[in-house]
Amino acid sequence: MKKYLFSILVISLVALPVLAATELVSPPDSINIVGVFKAIGTLLMSIAIPIAIIMVIVAGFYFMTAQGDPGKIDTAKKMLLWTLIGTAVVLMAEGVVVMVERIIRSA
């Protein structure tokens, strides 16, 4: 218990001056929801596409090393299928963001 109390005390002594030195920034007058969705979509795409490429390579490796074993081939097929489904969902999400942006801008 004393170790935790000491750790909390040290963290507080370091964090409090930093928090006191920061200024609070007021939020902007209007928040652009389309910009938020675009930023989330871009982040999602930048993470999902490299993962999808790696998973396709891993599924191919599973296919190559299966040596005719039906269980391993089935695992590789499922891995490839779910990778493609996940990639399609990510791409559709990007399309939904564009569609919502057009709807909001036309209103």
Mean pLDDT of 52-79: 90
What is the per-residue pLDDT for 99?
83
Tokens of 26: 């007021």
* Structural contact between residues 41 and 100, judged by C-beta atoms closer than 8 angstroms: no
**Mean per-residue pLDDT, 47-58:** 88
Q: How confident is residue 32, by pLDDT bands cut at 50, 70 and 90?
A: confident
Give the pLDDT confidence score for residue 84 in this predicted structure: 93
Percent of the chain with pLDDT over 90: 20
DSSP code, position 23: P
User: Between the CA of residue 32 and those of 46, 56, 85, 100, 104, what are the distances in Å?
Assistant: 21, 36, 30, 13, 11
Q: Are residues 59 and 83 in contact, defined by beta-carbon separation less than 8 angstroms?
A: yes
